[in-house]
Structure 1
């Protein structure tokens, strides 16, 4: 994965918070990610740990690559 993505290949949305269990992004953020410039991506990533903590979500470990 690129250094400019928080994706850890755990792509499941929490129905309560609407955040991805793996990275903490919302579906709109995930959908727009490739259109964001580097500064916007880094700004989103800077707040993900706090966002997940406030939502009561524990960080998950990255999934190993398959194949």
Structure 2
């Protein structure tokens, strides 16, 4: 019979292990780009967020940052105006 054990992790430690959502509360998908004007994620990425691993969440955040950087300056201003 295999030994069984449990690891008890304090709740505040678990908070440091998860990746925070990049959502800023400006949840509008731009019909031209298909990206949220607040966080630059796609609708699919937003919908899948809760089920993604931390590694996949980090990849989504990286893609969103690259999208934001590649958007024309006036598109980035729309997000600032909407929030």
Using structure 1 for the length normalisation, give the TM-score: 0.75
Hey, what does 2:67 align to over in structure 1?
51
Structure 1 segments unaligned to the other structure (5+ residues): none
**Alignment length (residue pairs):** 61
Backbone CA RMSD of aligned residues: 2.0
Once residues 19 and 47 of structure 2 are traced to their aligned partners in structure 1, the CA distance between those partners, rounded to angstroms, is 18
Greater gyration radius:
2
Using structure 2 for the length normalisation, give the TM-score: 0.63
CA contact (8 A) 2:40 2:64 kept: yes
Structure richer in helix, relative to its length: 2
